[in-house]
Structure 1
Amino acid sequence: MKQNKYDESEFFHKYSQMPRSVGGLNAAGEWTAFRGMLPDLRGKRVLDLGCGYGWHCRYAREQQAEAVVGIDLSEKMLERAREMTDDPKIEYRRMAIEDIEFGQAEFEVVISSLALHYVKDFAHLCSRVYRCLAPGGTFVLSVEHPIFTALAAQDWHYGPAGEKLHWPVDQYHKEGARLTRFLGDDVVKYHRTLAAWLTALLEAGFAIRQVSELPPAPEMLECNPAWEEEVRRPMFLLLSVGKS
């Protein structure tokens, strides 16, 4: 069994209190940029890797996608997704992202939001995504930025008065597992350099279309001053790639 913290009751309860769990896509700071990388979804078959509550699945159908499959390893996540979904053209399946075995060219669009930094062998997954994506198809993903994941602490360096002095980056080229703290619990994430993320996609056959490190737009800073931190260091990496 792959890592599955979200089926632990206390962890899932804490996750369910997060703003993005309550407010959905509009409460996710990276959503505007992620949405801008998506192709026209009308009439498309869409696969969501690590679908969680199914927010992206329902959005795809709102954009008139033909059919959507959302996968997640957490049964609690899928239970919540099914409770929030009333659409026979959205199917939720329980499986690990690493274990996907879909037919060749089964989807025109594959998406994944903040899930793939939990996957150990990203290169192998890329080959599986490439196979199930139709020619001309698009794969859009967001992950935690390598500057954010390099150190397991994932925290600022503080001054004597508790002020945030700088974001430490160390062991950047030492890729692999990081035991981090998330929602008060130990969680394993996998650190990769920016080059590693891009190379895995290129070697699988994808063409890079868009790369974003999510610099906060003025309106983001206006709505939420906490985004000032993202000016000092990137937290997210967003990629759009295509199959020729």
Structure 2
Amino acid sequence: MKQNVYDHPQFFEGYKNLREGNSGLNDVLEQPALRKLLPQLVDTRILDIGSGMGQFVMHCSQQGAKKVIGADISKKMIEFSQKNNRDVNTEFICSAIEDLQFDNQSFDLVTSSLVLHYIKDFRGIASKIHKWLDTNGIFIFSIEHPIVTSTNSMQGWICNEQGQKVYWPVDNYSEEGSRNQSWFIDGVIKYHRKISSIVNELIEEGFQIERIEEPEAILEAVTKRPELGEHRRRPPLLLIKCHKR
């Protein structure tokens, strides 16, 4: 069964407040790192998988993309995106990633921000993306770092008696598979994969790796938001840029 937690009213409102309040990692860490990996966007055909509220689709449109399609399983996210983005070169599709269908060589660039750790069959999605990309097309994505998703309990920081974060536990790293987490609501399912599995499956599906990034909060950002300091102690995100061979 495909997971759609973003249409749960409590989850949607929590996530919406997170993004609008700029209290998450998207705007301060993930998006800056992802955008540094982008190629020239003028006249490109782009697919953004798990497009959420449509901010990245809008960015690509404003950078001169020929066509930008945002796809998301959440009806609430798609409705929000359509309401707030009316550029003629953009389109939003409400669909699970697994159900998307496009002609071969339809896109020059496929992106995905913090979505693929919700997907059980990473290899299957990579295979589809490879077919959708034109010759030398680029695939860029971010996920929660496998260090973050490794522990079966998804426990998070280990704290001392004073409530100070002492260390981040890394356990069960080689035990790939589902993890059950409480995030806004109970029962959010994520999938842990080793870095080697992710990279090797991309290579085996016909991609050549160009760049791997593990962004950390810069000191200036930590000064403004001290809670970001913990993300200098362990990497929260993994980004990979690859192209179709």
Question: Aligned to 2:241, what secondary structure does the other structure show?
Answer: strand
Taking only aligned residues, the RMSD between alpha carbons, in angstroms, comes to 1.6
Check the 8 A contact 1:98/1:125 in 2, yes or no. Answer: yes
Determine the C-alpha separation between the residues in 2 that align with 1:190 and 1:205.
Answer: 22
Give distance in 2, aligned partners of 1:154 and 1:190: 15
Find out whether 1:42 has 2:46 as its counterpart.
no
Contiguous gaps of at least 5 residues in structure 2: none
Q: Which residue of 1 aligns with 2:136?
A: 136
Q: Which shows bigger deviation, 195-204 or 209-218?
A: 209-218
CA, structure 1 residues 11+197, in 2 after alignment: closer, same or farther (shift >3 Å)? same
Contact 2:29 2:215 in 1 (8 A): no
- Once residues 40 and 26 of structure 1 are traced to their aligned partners in structure 2, the CA distance between those partners, rounded to angstroms, is 22
Q: Secondary structure at the match of 1:17?
A: helix
Report % sequence identity.
Answer: 39
The answer on whether the counterparts of 1:148 and 1:154 sit within 8 Å (CA) in structure 2 is no
1:52 aligned partner, one-letter code: G
Q: 1:178 and 2:199 equivalent?
A: no
1:5 matched to which residue of 2?
A: 5
Spell out the pairing of 1:57-206 with structure 2 (5 A cutoff).
57-151=57-151, 152-206=153-207
Q: Deviation at 1:153?
A: 2.1
Q: How many residues align?
A: 243
One-letter code aligned to 1:129? I
Name the CA distance, whole Å, in 2 between partners of 1:40 and 1:223.
31
Match of 1:215 in 2: 216
Conservation of the 8 A alpha-carbon contact between 1:145 and 1:234: yes
Counterpart AA for 1:81 = S
Q: Is 1:11–1:185's contact at 8 Å kept on the other side of the alignment?
A: no
Displacement after TM superposition at 1:102 (Å): 1.0
Q: Is the 8 A contact 2:215 2:235 kept in 1?
A: yes
Whether contact under 8 Å (2:10, 2:184) holds in the other structure is: no
Q: Deviations over 1:115-165 (max 9, x none)?
A: 000000000110000000011111110000000001232410111111111
- Normalization by structure 1: what TM-score? 0.95
How far 1:26 sits from its partner (Å)? 7.5
Match of 2:29 in 1: 29
Q: Deviations over 1:65-117 (max 9, x none)?
A: 00011100000000000111111211111111122221111000000000000
Change (3 A) 1:59 1:75: same
Inter-partner Cα distance in structure 2 for 1:215 and 1:59:
23
